Amino acid sequence: MYRPSSSEPQNDTAVFLDQVSVRYNVPSENIKTFKEYVIRTLQGRIKHNGFWALKEIDIDVKQGEIFGILGRNGAGKSTLLKVISKVLIPTEGRVWIKGHISPLLQLGAGFHPELTGIENIFLNATLLGHSRDEVEEKLDEIIGFSEIQDFIEAPLRTYSSGMQARLGFAVATAWKPDILILDEVLGVGDAGFRNKCKTRMQGFTDSGATVLIVSHSVDTVRELCQRAIWLDHGTIQVMGEAESVCNAYEKSLGL
């Protein structure tokens, strides 16, 4: 059970996790239909196997810090991000976040093929929680950044996947977040556009945004982060200076 620890978020804290655990209930047999459920319940044969995707995570990220999260696939990185971005309410523990978080939206997930570029900007931005007025204010900038001025009135289904990704990125980063989550999204578009993305991200970090970098590559973390954690099997293996965490992680991979 969750027992609040003595620690509390400080004045300069941006992300605070206290004993956060997430447990997925995986039925031992995959019961997907109501019919099956009724039959199995009558037979008294439903068993759940608990699976802890995260176990007793404590994190305290300061404002303006660049924080790395390392780990292999399935280590619990995405679950951790979901907990931080309010998508998942933890099974146990406390999540405390100060400020607006950049979205994790997979590029284009909220788009509709029949709507025009402009209509999709409005749809996507309101999905991210922005008001109509906020969108109108930034509209020109979003269109400019996405580099699709000429096609902005055409339906989205006529766009190439690169154009859709650019539009998605332009909307998602139009507002400066207090906490920026970088989840290996920078592989969008051509080299020129990638540079623009990097510049924009750099602008966010320079203006004091907190950054969470999620990666399975130590190079990014080493290059950019001050502190980091290495996550495996839902628990924090090592937390501390980015350099030492990277070393420990590399060692475990046998590099």
Partner 1 sequence: MTIYDSAKRKHPAIEELLSLYQYRDLIFQLVRRDLVARYKRSVLGIAWTMLNPLGTMLIMVVVFNHVFPGTENFAAYVLTGLISWMMFSQSTSVAMSSMVWGSALFKQIYLPRTAFVLSTILSAMVNFVLSLVPLLFILIITRVPLRPSIILVPFFMILLLAFSLGVALLLSTITVFFPDVADFYPVVLTAWMYLSPIIMPLEFYREILNGILLYVNPFYYVMNLFRLLVLDGVFPHLRTWAAASVVSFGVLVIGWIVFCKKADTFAYHV
Cβ contact 89:23 at 8 Å = no
Regarding 106 and contact with partner 1 (CB under 8 A), the answer is: yes
**Is 130 or 216 the residue whose CB approaches partner 1 more closely?**
130
Give the H/E segment covering residue 62. Answer: strand 48-62
d(C-alpha 45, C-alpha 254), whole Å: 43
Q: How far is the CB of 246 from partner 1 (least distance, A)?
A: 28
Asked if 122 is part of the footprint of partner 1 (rule: CB under 8 A), the reply reads yes
- Of the candidate spans 69-77, 78-86, 145-153, 212-220, the one that interacts with partner 1 by CB under 8 A turns out to be 78-86
**Nearest CA among 58, 134, 49 for reference residue 94:** 58
The amino acid present at 22, given as its one-letter code, is V
User: Quick check: 169 and 201 in contact, CB under 8 A?
Assistant: no
Determine, following the binding rule CB under 8 A, whether residue 168 of this chain makes contact with partner 1.
Answer: no
| Phi-psi label, residue 44: left if phi above 0, alpha if psi -120 to 50, beta otherwise | left
Residues in contact with 152: Cβ distance below 8 Å, sequence separation at least 6, in sequence order = 116, 117, 118, 143
Q: What is the pattern of x (binds partner 1, CB under 8 A) and - over residues 186-225?
A: ----------------------------------------
Residues 11-40 that bind partner 1 (CB under 8 A): 24-25, 32-35, 37
Q: Note whether 7 binds partner 1 by CB under 8 A.
A: no
Distance between CA atoms of 43 and 38, rounded to whole angstroms? 9
Is 104 or 188 the residue whose CB approaches partner 1 more closely?
A: 104
Min CB(223)–partner 1 separation in Å: 27
| Closer of 127 and 248 to partner 1 (Cβ) | 127
Q: Please, what is the minimum distance in Å from the beta carbon of residue 137 to partner 1? A: 13
Q: Does 100 bind partner 1 (CB under 8 A)?
A: yes
Dig out the tokens for 43 from the structure: 């037979």
Give the β-pairing of 48-62 and 13-27. Answer: antiparallel
Please report, as residue ranges, which positions from 37 to 56 form the binding site for partner 1 (by CB under 8 A): 37
Name the minimum Å distance from CB 139 to partner 1. 14
Provide, rounded to whole angstroms, the least separation between the CB of residue 82 and partner 1.
7
Torsions phi, psi for 6 (to 5 deg): -70, -20
Query: Is the sign of the CA dihedral 93, 99, 100, 103 positive or negative?
Result: negative
Quick check: 105 and 128 in contact, CB under 8 A?
yes
Q: Write down the least CB distance from residue 115 to partner 1, Å.
A: 6
Binding site for partner 1 (CB under 8 A): 4, 24-25, 32-35, 37, 82, 85-90, 93-100, 103-106, 109-110, 112, 114-115, 119, 122-123, 126-132, 155, 178
